[in-house]
């Protein structure tokens, strides 16, 4: 009746991504920076705000955006279970590194 394991079983990378996204979004919301999460080259190179490189990837600027992003991350858990946590984390790091250019 059940199609597979439920929750975050056998998906530690997805679990870490979801927790980090939620925590950084809440942190940005508490500090009032949720509208300033977007990546700007002027902020990074001109004002040396290197923390935006991390925040722009993991933090969301609104609650609907957070819910949709968490749904997609939770859905990608299927890929992690299929290809394994090591390959999944390497592919995530590759996508992150290439998206910075």
Q: State the average pLDDT over residues 27-33.
A: 77
Residue 24 pLDDT greater than 70, yes or no: yes
Q: Are 56 and 101 in contact (CB under 8 A)?
A: no
Q: Which residues contact 25 (CB under 8 A, 6 or more apart)?
A: 34, 58, 59, 60, 66
Q: What is the pLDDT of residue 86?
A: 92
* Cα–Cα nearest to 51, from 24, 19, 82, 12: 24
pTM exceeds 0.85: no
Q: Are 81 and 58 in contact (CB under 8 A)?
A: no
Residue 1 pLDDT greater than 60, yes or no: no
Q: What is the pLDDT of residue 100?
A: 64
Cα gap 35→59, rounded to integer Å = 10
Q: Are 59 and 28 in contact (CB under 8 A)?
A: yes
Q: What is the pLDDT of residue 39?
A: 67
Task: Please tell me which residue, 15 or 49, carries the higher pLDDT value.
Answer: 15
Q: What is the pLDDT of residue 5?
A: 61
Q: Are 21 and 58 in contact (CB under 8 A)?
A: yes
Span 32-88, pLDDT tens digits: 766 666 666 776 677 776 667 766 777 788 888 889 988 988 888 888 889 999 998
């Amino acid at each position: 009746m059940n199609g597979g394991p439920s929750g975050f079983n056998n998906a530690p990378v997805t679990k870490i991504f979801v927790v980090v996204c939620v925590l950084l979004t809440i942190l940005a919301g508490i500090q009032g920076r949720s509208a300033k999460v977007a990546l700007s080259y002027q902020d990074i190179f001109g004002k040396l705000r290197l923390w935006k490189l991390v925040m722009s990837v993991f933090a969301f600027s609104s609650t609907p955006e957070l819910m949709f992003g968490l749904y997609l991350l939770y859905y990608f858990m299927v890929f992690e279970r299929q290809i394994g946590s090591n390959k999944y984390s390497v592919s995530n790091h590759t996508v992150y590194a290439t998206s910075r250019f």
